[in-house]
Structure 1
């Protein structure tokens, strides 16, 4: 593996993953929704103004891809989440969630395939969430957040469909839950309990990717296991009997 593309890399998981792969000497292309970070990132080639919720995102990436070889790994970690309750729903925010999480990635991948940047043995990882698992929804976990849950469930579906369409091309596709990331401000990280730092989530994802091939295409995995999945025990069984990584139900 040599050439890596990270979609949504200005912060959080995508940023940590880009830095870790660059440190290992990989050729890393990283996208920013608007302008690129002001702080230099050694070994990272930035592509600015890539909004995954827009149809032209894939074309912009292809236009800025300078390598003569294909993309070995693409990780789409760009996302958008807005909190909702049944009493306080947000139409425009829900539309934005579906466009960013479940519609845009399909168009982006289609263009990268048609442009010849994704070929045999390229790998595609869609960063989703256990929130998208219908099987894991339970009264103990509550409800609400219709756009957040629904868009992630839609991502599971399009990921599965992509895996079927791309199987003849020998391009595996997987959906992953990397954990709930700790939020950060200028003073550092805050929030405790049930959340993980981006560096830790990125490390777990990199380790899982070492075994990701066609045998796992079309599957949904929690790379850090059941630790932060509130309904895992009531739905799947005692936590100490569940493996890490953990394949999740749709």
Structure 2
């Protein structure tokens, strides 16, 4: 049974990753800050797979280290850094500077912490993948509207972290990619967004299986289309 670890699983994309992976026969380590309050996750029918819930605040180094030790002997075929926050939406002249560091802590530093914690688990698998859920809003080349400075900058930085990780982990056989899931109808994206969570996640998982060594360190849409940095 292949094994995955997904962060930010209490709702939205994270929950959908768990649902689809478990339904396809995966063992999924589903991580969120308060698993006892994650009603959908608790009641999820894993189908042919297995769901193991874990309490994890991705910004808490001690919790991460503890989970790493708990899963010490377990290979990971897939690691999805999904946990993220948007932060205040104010633009130029209305920047919430006091919140900027927290957005970076969750969206940029935490994926790096998670990757460092579970690199040894990934390298034990045959064809491991590490996906960082980024955003097209983090593309410098595609930015024509400004706004959302906190979120944009944190995802642009995550893209650089992804590229660095692709080099760091290349010798361990891990393929690393940043993925834009689309404008998804979640609490963050809004219910009128164009892409359903089911379609986004299905696309991301299909793309993950297609990734080869030549794709290592790239930035892709959920349909596998390369995106500009």
| TM-score, normalization by structure 2 | 0.88
Q: How much does 1:57 deviate? A: 4.2
Mapped contact 2:162–2:217 kept (Cα < 8 A) = yes
Q: Cα–Cα, structure 1 residues 95 and 200, in superposed 2: closer, same or farther, change >3 Å?
A: same
The answer to whether the aligner puts 1:157 opposite 2:163 as a matched pair is no
Q: Cα–Cα, structure 1 residues 65 and 40, in superposed 2: closer, same or farther, change >3 Å?
A: farther
Q: Aligned partners of 2:105 and 2:91: how far apart in 1?
A: 20
Per the alignment, residue 197 of structure 1 pairs with 196
Per the alignment, residue 45 of structure 1 pairs with 52
Q: Aligned partners of 1:207 and 1:16: how far apart in 2?
A: 14
Q: Aligned partners of 1:165 and 1:13: how far apart in 2?
A: 27
Per the alignment, residue 23 of structure 1 pairs with 23
Q: Aligned partners of 1:137 and 1:190: how far apart in 2?
A: 20
SS in 2 for 1:117: helix
SS in 2 for 1:247: coil
Per the alignment, residue 129 of structure 2 pairs with 123
Q: How much does 1:53 deviate? A: 2.1
Q: How much does 1:163 deviate? A: 0.5
Q: How much does 1:5 deviate? A: 0.6
Per the alignment, residue 64 of structure 1 pairs with 70
Unaligned runs of 5+ in 2: none
Q: Aligned partners of 2:74 and 2:117: how far apart in 1?
A: 16
| TM-score, normalization by structure 1 | 0.81
Q: Cα–Cα, structure 1 residues 196 and 89, in superposed 2: closer, same or farther, change >3 Å?
A: same
Per the alignment, residue 140 of structure 2 pairs with 134
The answer to whether the aligner puts 1:249 opposite 2:220 as a matched pair is no
Larger Cα Rg: Structure 1 or Structure 2? 1
Unaligned runs of 5+ in 1: 225-244
Q: Aligned partners of 2:191 and 2:7: how far apart in 1?
A: 25
- 1:20-42 Cα offsets, whole Å, 9 max, x none, are 11111111110012234233223
Between the two proteins, the alignment pairs up a number of residues equal to 219
Q: Aligned partners of 2:146 and 2:184: how far apart in 1?
A: 20
Q: How much does 1:107 deviate? A: 1.6
Mapped contact 1:53–1:96 kept (Cα < 8 A) = no
Q: Aligned partners of 1:73 and 1:61: how far apart in 2?
A: 16
2:147 to 138, 144, 147: 144
Per the alignment, residue 98 of structure 1 pairs with 104
SS in 2 for 1:22: helix
Mapped contact 2:75–2:123 kept (Cα < 8 A) = yes
Q: How much does 1:190 deviate? A: 6.4
Per the alignment, residue 236 of structure 1 pairs with none
The range that moved more, 82-91 or 161-170, is 82-91
